[in-house]
Structure 1
Amino acid sequence: MDPLDSLVEQLWSPLLDTGGVRVDVDGAADPDWVDHESYWAVPDLRRAKLLVPRGDSAVTAAAIENYRGLRLRRKNLMRAVVGPLARHRVPVLRHAVTVQVRRDRPELAEQLPLAVLARALDTGALSASIGIRTGDNRKASLALVDGTGRPVGHAKVGWDRVSDGYVSTETRVLREVGGRAGPMRAPAVLAETTYHGHPVLVMEPLPGDVRGSRGRIPPPSSAELYSLMPVTRRSPPRDTGHLSALSTRLRQQQGDPVAGGIATSAGRLLGLVEARADAFPVTARWHGDLTVWNRARDASGQLWVWDWENSEEDALAGLDAMHWAFSARRSPSAQLLELDLGGCLDDSRPHLVAAGVSREQGSVVAAVYALVVVERACGLAAHHGDWAQVWISPEDLTALLTQADALLTR
């Protein structure tokens, strides 16, 4: 599937089915159709990673240049070149993508994404940059700007069962933690609505001066880590809400024709963890995807964290630290570089100690994290019907379970 086709499936397909809306690429004017949303494909149609507003050159340039500090140098290079050229009306962007409504169906214009979002925010006309996602966790993500190109919000739009669940989860969590001042901050919820039966979340924009490049800003401290994920009680792992739900999902996956083998192989490790009767520190929630690409710091040093769509309540302390360490061994393209659960545990020790996890209990936290990786991968494989689109292979999952077992039994 081409990148644009993937985005059309995620965002505009409900309206295309009416026959009164179409997505036109580089087409000529047609008196029967009226333009309502118009974008440039960046860098071009075949390799499109982003759609940016087409129209006012200042808005186009601002949409390209906003938040350059969040991106890798090689990705910023394109924006650093294209933004100023667009501002000076140099025709560097050549492929137009336009959402059109039939002239005799004007009511459908009010059902387009930007119209829905403008009503939800009770604001004037909006423009948006739209990231094109083609991976496992794809959904439409819109960076909303006003008539000057100033950021006004960030929207996520569900489109299928899986993405609907992610958007709903993040909305719920941000209602609890978003907008709070503190060592770690999460964006506030500006609005929540629906789009053709799917949930939509609009978050406040991040500060314009945030920086998020790898290796150039400090990782989260323990005080920051536990400010929004505080330790609230102590409990055996089997009595936590997170492990209970994880166990249920894993056991359900054991009957899946694609993921069942790996899910079943996780049964021994799950049994060892559930047999523990000693009390562990338990946090109110865990972020679920705390990585270098889901955090940034503004000019004051304030830590900002987003993408809470994998968050779950009542989880063992230390899982976020394990995920951070595990993700640090992956490239920006999410390909696994190093599979070393023991090394991740060593890297996470200071955060585990800060929460009150003993050295011996740390191996259990590592084992639970291995079960998380397995369960998520099995869920993706079951959803897609094969392992081709899953970022980690069954062989690597088997190795991870072996490492976790060794940590528990050594």
Structure 2
Amino acid sequence: MRARASRPSRPLRRVGQRGEHALDSYLSEVLGQPIRTVEHGPRAGDRPIRWAYGEADTQLGLVKIGSSARDRELVRHEAEVLRMLADRPLKVVVPPVVLHHGEWDGREVLLLSPPPTGSGKVPAGLLHAAIAEIAGLGRAPGGGSSSGLPLACPEPGRADGPAAGGPAVPYLGLDAERHPDGFAWHGDFVPANLAAGADGRLFVGNWERFGTGVPFGFDALHHFFHRALRRMGPAEAARACVAQAGITLEPFGLSSPQARRTAAHYLITLADRHHRDGHEPLGPPSAWLTPLIDQLEALP
């Protein structure tokens, strides 16, 4: 049986105190038990993430806190996405459960169930199945358009229009480029957000970048690109992303030309996200992306 996301049991409220102890007091009050939080490793941008511990020092989950307008939007978006996922019959993907979503001291607070521990390397077949299942979230549960989902992507990424031709995606039974509503993508499908479960399913965390209306394959390309960034600079990783796109997307039935177009679209979407965030972790796109796009446009 799937766990269902909980909704706040009381109206969102502001607390005048500041600091981690005030956050602990707020969570203790809304959850009805003593809560202690501690900082959790690296932050997502400048957004703090904390572990929450309950009675008998039991680990409850992760606390995400959105302070700026942009971060508050992302935290709210993730809560909304996770509630939607709780109502979808997912067979492969296991998302976190919303334990609490509220407002503290003008900040958005989201408490999520913790990821599994002790996960090793994720098998390629499981990755592919999860990517395909997430892509299918761009459709309504009974098939057809996904326009009823209240899940506009926080950054641009909608396909400009249908492209001609292309084989069917084996996992979805849909044309990877011609599906009129596009597909969904997780938006941050990287190893740090993934964990293989003992039941053969894949835990996928950090859904704040989820969006719909993109070409099929964005998550697979994002996974490849961010693994490449561990070994090389942004410009070289971007070139590798396009050069290897045919291999990366081959399991899903895309041709090499389709895959290269999708990779270019993905990289442009990622650069636009960074611009809108006001944070360019890869440096200016003129250094790592523009020369590659110029080169691709010059090809026959």
Q: TM-score, normalised by structure 2?
A: 0.73
Tell me if 1:196 matches 2:105: yes
Tell me if 1:160 matches 2:60: no
Q: Which runs of 5+ in 2 are unaligned?
A: 1-13, 146-150, 165-176
Query: Could you tell me which residue of structure 2 aligns to residue 117 of structure 1?
Result: 27
Tell me the SS of whatever aligns to 1:308: coil
Task: Tell me if the contact between 1:158 and 1:164 (Cα under 8 Å) persists in the aligned partners.
Answer: yes
CA apart distance, 1:304: 0.5
Query: Could you tell me which residue of structure 1 aligns to residue 8 of structure 2?
Result: none
CA apart distance, 1:226: 1.9
Distance in 2 separating the partners of 1:229 and 1:145: 34
> Structure 1 residues 310 and 300, CA, compared in 2 at 3 Å: closer, same or farther?
same
More helix by share: 1
Distance in 1 separating the partners of 2:251 and 2:186: 14
Query: Could you tell me which residue of structure 2 aligns to residue 329 of structure 1?
Result: 228
Tell me the SS of whatever aligns to 2:219: helix
Distance in 2 separating the partners of 1:335 and 1:274: 29
Q: TM-score, normalised by structure 1?
A: 0.55
> What are the superposed Cα offsets for residues 116-152 of structure 1, whole Å, 9 maximum, x if unpaired?
22233x23101122125467x2211111112333211
Tell me if 1:295 matches 2:295: no
Tell me if 1:311 matches 2:219: no
Distance in 2 separating the partners of 1:244 and 1:115: 31
Larger Rg: 1
> Structure 1 residues 350 and 118, CA, compared in 2 at 3 Å: closer, same or farther?
farther
CA apart distance, 1:234: 9.3
> Structure 1 residues 119 and 274, CA, compared in 2 at 3 Å: closer, same or farther?
same
Identity of aligned residues (%): 20
Distance in 2 separating the partners of 1:193 and 1:133: 23
> What are the superposed Cα offsets for residues 257-292 of structure 1, whole Å, 9 maximum, x if unpaired?
xxxxxxxxxxxxxxxx84765352455521011011
Task: Tell me if the contact between 1:341 and 1:404 (Cα under 8 Å) persists in the aligned partners.
Answer: no
Tell me if 1:170 matches 2:75: no
Query: Could you tell me which residue of structure 1 aligns to residue 276 of structure 2?
Result: 379
> What are the superposed Cα offsets for residues 190-241 of structure 1, whole Å, 9 maximum, x if unpaired?
111011222211111223x3415xxx33244332222233163899xxxxx9
Tell me the SS of whatever aligns to 1:313: strand
Task: Tell me if the contact between 1:367 and 1:405 (Cα under 8 Å) persists in the aligned partners.
Answer: no
Query: Could you tell me which residue of structure 1 aligns to residue 131 of structure 2?
Result: 225
1:343 counterpart (240, 243, 247)? 243
Q: Which runs of 5+ in 1 are unaligned?
A: 1-13, 24-36, 38-98, 100-111, 236-240, 249-272
Distance in 1 separating the partners of 2:289 and 2:106: 36
| Residue-pair matches, total | 260
Amino acid corresponding to residue 364 of structure 1 in structure 2: R
Distance in 2 separating the partners of 1:244 and 1:174: 15
Distance in 1 separating the partners of 2:247 and 2:208: 25
CA apart distance, 1:247: 7.0
Distance in 2 separating the partners of 1:391 and 1:245: 17
Distance in 1 separating the partners of 2:57 and 2:153: 44
